[in-house]
Amino acid sequence: MANHYSHPKGFVGRSICYAISYEGVYYGHIVGGSATRFLPGRNEMLGITLKQLNNVINNVFFNVSKVKGKYPLRWFTAKIIEGFVERCSVDWQEKYGDNVVGFESLVELPRTGELYKHAGWTLVGETKGFTCKRVSRKKDEQAADSWSGKRVWDRVNLHPKLVFCYKLT
């Protein structure tokens, strides 16, 4: 995760992590996780309501590095996404008992999400550029209430992200 441009500190909610290897060579990791509550265009494209978010998997982390300066196949990253959709759909059903109807992924600009397009995903919207970030409470706030040690959410201004979705048939 330290090599990924977003430098995540972990994942909130459900998640399934996969190592990416090809012919015994390690290339990186990909993670399927809980769907984002509100995303422009996602519900309409997948034909779901907010009550069905457990049936959507978010590609919350994807980091692949070239080995010896190259990937082993043309459109290697798109092929990884295709394999991820197949494997994670089955594993999600087994682990959480929810029938998967689709996938979502957020791509930070200036990246274009070209690999998702090549894997058959659809660009359905763009976020407004805000997110919530977990931060530790200050000691004086902890003393003021009985929630001592809990975390709170602060609104943080970030860059807008492209929203890509893939609907299972």
Q: What is the pLDDT of residues 34-85, one digit of tens each?
A: 999 999 999 999 999 999 999 999 999 999 999 999 999 999 999 999 999 9
123 in a structural domain: yes
Inter-residue contact 57 to 33 (CB < 8 Å):
yes
2 in a structural domain: no
120 in a structural domain: yes
5 in a structural domain: no
Tokens of 55: 């049936």
8 in a structural domain: no
Report which residue type is found at 98: D
**Domain containing residue 75: CATH number:** 3.40.630.30
Inter-residue contact 2 to 123 (CB < 8 Å):
no
Residue 57 CA to residue 17 CA, distance in Å, equals: 12
Q: What's the whole-model pTM score?
A: 0.80
In total, how many domains does the chain have?
A: 1
Res 129: pLDDT: 75
User: What residue numbers bound the domain in which 86 lies?
Assistant: 15-128+160-167
71 in a structural domain: yes
59 in a structural domain: yes
- pLDDT tens by residue, 11-35: 668 999 999 999 999 999 999 999 9
- pLDDT tens by residue, 83-115: 999 999 999 999 999 999 999 999 988 899 999
Radius of gyration of the chain (CA): 18
Interval 112-120 mean pLDDT: 95
139 in a structural domain: no
